[in-house]
């Protein structure tokens, strides 16, 4: 069986994807050196798994279901924007995500626990809730970005989180193609 490049994520839904498409059109040509993420591909990654053996998928899904089943549904607020790592060296343009209380952090911790228990290696970076909407291929102007971040409305409201998804990521010359391997309800 062939290995699968995959990740576990929250899909913010069609309305958010439409809003991102509109934002990208609004910012097109105003942000230099950026490659925008296909709006329907924008998601909140809980855990990037990289390439894993396909025979591990069934066990991963079963363990995720056991870990997150019964967690309360919650609302995710999608607001604010920024860049990683900073305005001097921007690599990623993102939209912020947060929940009331610690619901999002609890969900991420459950997912990370499952991934770790299966011995799937992941990076040690702390979880920073965000949705990537663009990646910089060239150096962008920090001054240009600062103005956009300060003068553009980045409030997309709230979305209900009642499920997570295990996605396959297939890399193509035109960008990644994501397909749902499993939908896991809270």
47: left (phi over 0), alpha (psi -120 to 50) or beta: beta
Which residue segment(s) compose the domain that 103 sits in? 4-176
Residue 67 included in any domain: yes
pLDDT given at position 71: 97
Quick check: is 78 in a domain? yes
Q: What's the pTM value of the predicted model, to 2 decimals?
A: 0.94
- Taking only the tens place, the pLDDT of each residue in 124-180 is 789 999 999 999 987 666 677 888 898 888 999 999 999 999 999 999 998 899 999
pLDDT in tens, 79-91: 999 999 988 889 9
Q: Would 185 be classed as within a structural domain? A: no
Does 182 reside within a domain? no
Total structural domains within the chain: 1
Q: State CA 170 to chain mean position distance.
A: 16
Give me the CATH number covering residue 111.
Answer: 3.90.1140.10
115 in a domain, yes or no? yes
**What confidence score (pLDDT) does residue 141 get?**
65
Q: Where are the alpha helices (DSSP H) in the chain?
A: 14-27, 57-68, 103-117, 142-151
Hey, which residues are catalytic here?
A: 43, 130
Return d(Cα 171, Cα 173) in angstroms, integer.
Answer: 7
- Confirm whether 167 is domain-assigned: yes
pLDDT score, position 158 = 97
Task: Kindly report which listed range (18-27, 28-37, 51-60, 171-180) carries the lowest average pLDDT score.
Answer: 28-37
Write down the pLDDT at residue 124.
79
Q: What is the mean pLDDT of residues 96-110?
A: 96
């Amino acid at each position: 069986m062939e290995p699968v490049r995959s990740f576990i994520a929250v899909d913010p839904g069609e309305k958010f994807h439409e809003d991102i498409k509109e934002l990208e059109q609004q910012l097109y040509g105003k942000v230099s050196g950026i490659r925008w993420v296909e709006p329907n591909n924008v998601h909140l990654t809980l855990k990037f798994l990289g390439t894993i053996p396909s025979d591990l998928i069934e066990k991963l899904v079963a363990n995720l279901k056991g870990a997150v089943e019964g967690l309360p549904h919650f609302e995710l607020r999608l607001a604010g924007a920024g860049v990683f790592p900073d305005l001097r060296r921007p690599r990623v343009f993102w939209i912020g995500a947060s929940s009331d209380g610690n619901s999002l952090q609890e969900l991420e911790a459950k997912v990370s626990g499952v991934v770790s228990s299966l011995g799937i290696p992941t990076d040690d970076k702390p979880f920073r809730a965000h949705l990537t909407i663009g990646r910089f291929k060239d150096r962008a102007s920090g001054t240009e970005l600062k103005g956009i971040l300060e003068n553009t409305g980045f409030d997309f409201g709230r979305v209900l989180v009642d499920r997570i998804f295990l996605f396959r990521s297939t890399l193509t010359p035109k960008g990644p193609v994501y397909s749902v391997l499993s939908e896991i309800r809270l």
